[in-house]
Structure 1
Amino acid sequence: MRDAGAERLGMDAATPTDPVVPIASAARRNDARHVLHPWSSHGALRPVVVAGADGAHFWDEDGRRWLDFSSQLVNTNVGHQHPKLIAAIKAQADKLCTVAPYHANEATSEAARLIAELAPGDLNRVFFTNGGAEAIENAIRMARLHTGRHKILAAYRSYHGATAGAIAATGDPRRWASEPGPPGIVRFWGPYPYRSAFHATDAAQECERALAHLADTIMAEGAQNVAAILLETVVGANGILVPPDGYLQGVRALCDAHGIAMIADEVMAGFGRCGEWFAVDRWNVVPDLITFAKGVNSGYVPLGGVIMSDAIAADFATRAYPGGLTYSGHPLACAAAVACIGIYKEEGLIDRARALGEDIVGPALQAMQARHPSVGDVRGLGLFWAIELVRDRDTHEPLVPFNASGGADAAMAEFAAACKRRGLWPFVAGNRLHIVPPLIVGEQDLREGLAIVDEALDIADRHSVG
């Protein structure tokens, strides 16, 4: 993806050793020479050098300041530099920095207790990982071991991580460069009323037809071969697609009917982002496995994991689970999780996220949709929203083509740059702007950020035919 922020800072596309490239600091110089950033070509990328952050804002080494409407990668749910979270990490560092995962320790066991207490149903045991991708890897492994089957059904519009199994399960184009991947992944189409793969005319029909399609896919693949259905409870990077009411219940029913494990990927949607502890809570659905990361400790120290049902946990009561990580249940990361969960509770952030979405974000985006011909659709819940930008409202033609690159995404790059110039850091994906600020964002900051988006949409309107 092009870095519109680099263009705004006046940097050109020369190589890192080209003398015309302004290198103002050792951090910038060392980054240019030695760091390979994710999903980027180092010859073209000119990242912002972040010097500090606080609450819902961060700034660069030149003092430029942005309201963080991306929560970085939708993980800093309690904001930057929360004093209680920092204090907990410092206290744990003084007590015990690290220990092998075959030991028990206070921070890890308490984090597991709190997470299991928050999880729905009988999901009472936690396997800790270093992040979301590893959580997906292990959830798939657990489902296969539990069922004795090998196929995993995963949606096209999905992202599950960049390790070998997680990227194979991913449905979006980021998997292409890693193919062929491990065998056993089968694709299906999930619900997306605005761009229905089922020619549905409303959300209820979309739900019905999406479930029928999934049932047919199970039939064609042989239910006796399917270990799990893996899905993001609310699809994240591929559009913040909120499932229609009844869909997740229908998936659960299909899993129950065929002895299939249901894996809910809550890496992005969990821990308050959708106005619930876990997004599945909104629909009263209990999966067999939940994967988590990001919001569990707001990314202050890498942490992820799998919460499993009692039935799956029982598989490993008398036989060893065949997997592990050196840093599983890392004390610093788990101490951060304990503190972060405490912050969610003490500051009422789960309910607050739900209220901000219902009272401020949703109405503001609907007003923008009415004003701007480039806004084709708005959707979301909690502090997890998307604005889908189009060239033509009647045809739903996206503002930039699917998987656009190499200049084809110029309209979105121009829009993102306009947000940054005005002091807002956006989360742009494809033809969409995602509204995903920290859950602690002040109401005034939230309204000001939405006003910046509203103003920047004038630029997107220039590329729209109405």
Structure 2
Amino acid sequence: MDDQQDVSRRTAEEQVPGFGSVEEARSSASRAYELDRKHVFHSWVAQGAFKPMVVTAAQGSHVWDGNGDRLLDFSSQLVNTNIGHQHPRVVAGIVEQAQRLATIAPHHVNDQRSEAARLIAERTPGDLDKVFFTNSGAEAVEHAIRMARVHTGRNKILSRYRSYHGATALAINVTGDPRRWANDRGTEGTTHFFGPFLYRSAFHATTEAEEEQRALQHLQQVIELEGPGTIAAIILETIPGGPGIIPPPPGYLRGVRELCDLHGIVMIADEVMCGFGRSGHWFAIDESGVAPDLLAFAKGVNSGYVPLGGVAISARVAETFEERPYPGGLTYSGHPLACAAAVATITAMADEGIVENARRIGETVLGPGLAEIAARHPCVGEARGRGVFWALELVTDATTREPLAPYAGTSAAMAEMMAECKRQGLLPLMVSNRIHCAPPCTITADEAREGLRILDEVLKIGDSYTV
């Protein structure tokens, strides 16, 4: 990675990639915004007051907005552009595949799906050597749960509070954050439990070791009271992302694995957000030394260049379907364009040391830098994360840990900080009372430092709201 890359904002003479001039880009953006507001129905928002930002172009770690201004993308959009924007090898892979075979039905073999499956299986932990491809992370979760239910002959699914697994009917029911509330009818056989989160411990723990032990005792009790023989699977985001980027204590996932083995429960790792380099490892679960029975992935597998997700399947679960048909399928499972993008992405990540770069940036720039920021700003209660996957927990009072915005809501302070971030050329992800820092795994050290410098300035707004 070239740490000398210029990270300044657009000068008056700079062109927007793909456009002849800034004026041309602005004209295109104006037309796009007009049509969007007239015809596009957006997710998770009330439509009337919504004023989305236009993105006209992207390159590397940057995007250009409708005014032609360049912003450092500290969100990786929805934490999925792991390889950065417009990586030439991925773009070339898609173009080449489109010229040769743009689409084919999933019951036929296509070489890109076969190669993508091989590359994924080589990197997944344990014996997860079979891959079922989906179009998204939510579908991956849906199918992982379906596999677990058929494999065990049981129905119930346990998942933790402070989690997000997708917005389809079953995936939203196993989700443990407020996006579930309006969609949950209590009919999907799901039960929630508390996972470890020391900063806001549900177990009155004061140390990470206590939090780990008490969280595992709580899960064991939930299993016993729900009835072990009724539980098909426990699904966990290896590192919960949307609800706050909450790395588990060192032995927690091993403890979950042992509980699953004890009771014949399938362990599903949801690596949709934290997989493919995001945590500084190919998969976040690698750090624990644990192998799940099923692993759901999407997002970073091809950085979202073409929609793709999937389930990596252990030999034990796969064996269930050797003689028994799997009751599910998708028209676009293993789509050639999506799989070609995955092949190009994974190959580039390996060749260019992108996973290692994510780990190095986390250890040498983001981790230390965010810790220094937390120490300087009274509004920062905690900085936590791995690799290029971090969150700042913002509070009005460091003693009471009162959030700077309500759970599942926002506040004037958060809105002001988001506006100032954009004004200074930074695009982070803000969720409730948190600022998520999740730049591409390809980000340079200089770019990461520039993002931290802007955050350091912006957090002065948050400080003004503290007691």
Name the TM-score class by shorter chain. over 0.9
Identity %: 60
Where does residue 220 of structure 1 map in the other structure? 225
Alignment match of 2:434 (pick from 432, 435, 454): 432
> Does the CA contact (< 8 Å) of 2:29 and 2:56 recur in 1?
no
Q: What CA distance in whole angstroms lies between the structure 2 residues aligned with 1:207 and 1:61?
A: 46
Q: CA deviation at 1:357?
A: 0.5
* Paired AA for residue 449 in structure 1: G
Alignment match of 2:286 (pick from 271, 281, 285): 281
Q: CA deviation at 1:41?
A: 1.8
Q: What CA distance in whole angstroms lies between the structure 2 residues aligned with 1:400 and 1:107?
A: 45
**Count of residues in correspondence between the two structures:** 441
- Structure-to-structure mapping, 1:114-193, within 5 angstroms: 114-193=119-198
- SS state of the match for residue 121, structure 1? coil
Measured against aligned partners, the alpha-carbon deviations of 1:432-465 in whole angstroms (never above 9, x if no partner) come to 1111000111211110011000110000000111
Q: What CA distance in whole angstroms lies between the structure 1 residues aligned with 2:251 and 2:442?
A: 31
- SS state of the match for residue 123, structure 1? coil
Q: CA deviation at 1:24?
A: 6.9
> Does the CA contact (< 8 Å) of 1:193 and 1:202 recur in 2?
yes
Alignment match of 2:355 (pick from 344, 347, 350): 350
Q: What CA distance in whole angstroms lies between the structure 2 residues aligned with 1:308 and 1:23?
A: 45
* 1:24–1:212 Cα change, 3 Å: closer
* Paired AA for residue 243 in structure 2: N
Q: What CA distance in whole angstroms lies between the structure 2 residues aligned with 1:39 and 1:442?
A: 32
- Structure-to-structure mapping, 1:250-261, within 5 angstroms: 250-261=255-266
- SS state of the match for residue 129, structure 2? strand
- SS state of the match for residue 323, structure 1? coil
- SS state of the match for residue 71, structure 2? strand
1:298 and 2:300 equivalent?
Answer: no
Measured against aligned partners, the alpha-carbon deviations of 1:296-325 in whole angstroms (never above 9, x if no partner) come to 000000000000100111111111100000
- Structure-to-structure mapping, 1:229-240, within 5 angstroms: 229-240=234-245
* Paired AA for residue 37 in structure 2: A
Where does residue 17 of structure 2 map in the other structure? none
Q: What CA distance in whole angstroms lies between the structure 2 residues aligned with 1:182 and 1:269?
A: 29
Where does residue 9 of structure 1 map in the other structure? none
Where does residue 19 of structure 1 map in the other structure? none
* Paired AA for residue 128 in structure 2: L
Where does residue 453 of structure 1 map in the other structure? 455
> Does the CA contact (< 8 Å) of 1:23 and 1:29 recur in 2?
no
Where does residue 68 of structure 2 map in the other structure? 63
Where does residue 322 of structure 1 map in the other structure? 327
* Paired AA for residue 410 in structure 1: A
CA RMSD for the aligned pairs?
Answer: 1.1
Where does residue 6 of structure 2 map in the other structure? none
* Paired AA for residue 260 in structure 1: I
Q: What CA distance in whole angstroms lies between the structure 2 residues aligned with 1:444 and 1:238?
A: 28
Q: What CA distance in whole angstroms lies between the structure 2 residues aligned with 1:284 and 1:179?
A: 34
Decide which moves more: 271-280 or 35-44. 35-44
> Does the CA contact (< 8 Å) of 1:164 and 1:182 recur in 2?
no
* Paired AA for residue 346 in structure 1: D
Q: CA deviation at 1:23?
A: 11
Alignment match of 2:33 (pick from 28, 32, 36): 28
Q: What CA distance in whole angstroms lies between the structure 1 residues aligned with 2:29 and 2:93?
A: 35
Name structure 2 gaps, 5 residues minimum: 1-26
* 1:41–1:116 Cα change, 3 Å: same
Q: TM-score, normalised by structure 2?
A: 0.93
* Paired AA for residue 91 in structure 1: E
Q: What CA distance in whole angstroms lies between the structure 2 residues aligned with 1:284 and 1:119?
A: 11
- Structure-to-structure mapping, 1:87-106, within 5 angstroms: 87-106=92-111
> Does the CA contact (< 8 Å) of 1:165 and 1:181 recur in 2?
no
> Does the CA contact (< 8 Å) of 1:164 and 1:181 recur in 2?
no
* 1:190–1:78 Cα change, 3 Å: same
* Paired AA for residue 379 in structure 2: S
Alignment match of 2:407 (pick from 402, 407, 421): 402
Alignment match of 1:414 (pick from 407, 411, 416): 416
Measured against aligned partners, the alpha-carbon deviations of 1:274-303 in whole angstroms (never above 9, x if no partner) come to 011111100100000000000000000000
> Does the CA contact (< 8 Å) of 2:160 and 2:236 recur in 1?
yes
Decide which moves more: 255-264 or 173-182. 173-182
What stretches of structure 1 move > 3 A for 4+ residues in a row? none
Q: CA deviation at 1:61?
A: 3.1
Q: CA deviation at 1:179?
A: 2.0
Q: What CA distance in whole angstroms lies between the structure 2 residues aligned with 1:111 and 1:24?
A: 35
* Paired AA for residue 173 in structure 1: P
* 1:367–1:24 Cα change, 3 Å: closer
Q: CA deviation at 1:183?
A: 2.5
Where does residue 81 of structure 1 map in the other structure? 86
* Paired AA for residue 65 in structure 2: D
Decide which moves more: 226-235 or 346-355. 346-355
* Paired AA for residue 75 in structure 1: N
Where does residue 17 of structure 1 map in the other structure? none
